[in-house]
Amino acid sequence: MPSELPIVLIVDDVPTNIHILADALRHECRIKVAVHGEEALDIARTAPQPDLILLDVMMPDLDGYEVCRRLKNDPITRAIPIIFVSARDAEDDQTLGFNLGGVDYITKPFSIPVVRARVRTHIRLKRQTDALQHLSRIDPLTGVANRRHFDELIQIEMRRALRDQDPLSLLMIDIDYFKGYNDYYGHGAGDLCLQQVANTLANGLSRPGDLLARYGGEEFIAVLPATVRTAAHQLADRLRINVLQLGIAHAQSPAAAVVTISVGVATLISTPAVLQAHNQSEIDVLLKEADTLLYSAKASGRNCVMS
Ligand code: GH3
Ligand code: MG
Ligand code: MG
Ligand code: MG
């Protein structure tokens, strides 16, 4: 929550240095501390993650540069801004810190007001970046994830499914006779209908790892990790009934007097042949299968699920 105090992780092998920095920041930040590199890596990975790390360079075992390298190599910690705080003030040291992905480099001895100002600045920038990233993944009309977020997430889920040999299901969902709805009730009512259907679909997904995205105009896609075909089919049918029960009048629908959806269900089964395959080609196969089954659902009269 952006209104909460930001969490700052202070990493230094000398407790006195930690105390000075912690005293300087404690009124405006929640402080976590680590006295060596491994501890810093652990804390950085653990939720709630720090919003910023103040990182000493000279430490026994892992030095600050190596800690930074590892944080930047791990997708879970990559986005946390790192400010180096070090007595090593040579140009080369500072340049290396920036080249490794540090956002700033403070040399010791430092001025406390300047440290505070730099910390504030980098936390503000981090929050702006987070807000922009969030916006870039949301469909503005319905508030659910957009196509871009789906494209990113399906890559991650496909890699995970192939690695763990888990099933992975996709639901391709399309509103029935939506062109007729727009033509009859108007585009504004069409937008409202899209919002209600999106809400109902999103609320119908039960597991934390499930994702609903708007895939195109009146088409949605649900990603269901670790879900076998029968379970995905059951879920799809529940979503279908939930939308039906919204009871949005649709005078132009030959399928029902209300707005309905059709759903195609595709499931990845990790056979040895599939394990050899490239992520993207498996994603394409899964999308094609879901689309074909959606088409069959349409051909069978709509308001139904095909798997
Ligand atoms: P089917 O049952 O075969 O899916 O028929 P359909 O009429 O739903 O399919 P079609 O693809 O012919 O029409 C989709 C319509 O969705 C066309 C367009 O008017 C409407 N649509 C797409 N995006 C939006 C949107 O953002 N807002 C509104 N109001 N309508 C949209
Ligand atoms: Mg040190
Ligand atoms: Mg449609
Ligand atoms: Mg469509």
Task: Give catalytic residue positions.
Answer: 218
pTM reported for the whole predicted model? 0.79
Percentage above 90 pLDDT, the chain: 90
Cβ pair 149, 213 in contact under 8 A: yes
pLDDT in tens, 55-114: 999 999 999 999 999 999 998 899 999 999 999 999 999 999 999 999 999 999 999 999
Distances (CA, A) of 249 to 38, 184, 185, 189, 304: 60, 11, 10, 11, 18
Please indicate whether residue 64, judged by its CB atom, sits closer than 6 Å to ligand 1: no
Please indicate whether residue 207, judged by its CB atom, sits closer than 6 Å to ligand 1: no
Report the nearest-CA residue for atom 19 of ligand 1: 179
pLDDT in tens, 176-206: 999 999 999 999 999 999 999 999 999 999 8
Ligand 1 atom having least distance to the Cα of 189: 29
Ligand 1 atom having least distance to the Cα of 178: 8
pLDDT in tens, 115-165: 999 999 999 999 999 999 999 999 999 999 999 999 999 998 998 898 888
Annotate 2-66 with DSSP letters as a single string.
TTSPPEEEEE-SSHHHHHHHHHHHTTTSEEEEESSHHHHHHHHHSSSPPSEEEEES--SSS-HHH
Report the nearest-CA residue for atom 4 of ligand 1: 176
pLDDT for the residue 192: 98
Cα dihedral 185, 189, 191, 194 in deg (nearest 10): -90
ipTM: 0.95
pLDDT for the residue 129: 93
Please indicate whether residue 250, judged by its CB atom, sits closer than 6 Å to ligand 1: no
Share the mean pLDDT of the chain: 95
Q: Which residue has the tokens 């209300």?
A: 258
133 CB neighbour count, 10 Å cutoff: 11
Report the nearest-CA residue for atom 15 of ligand 1: 179
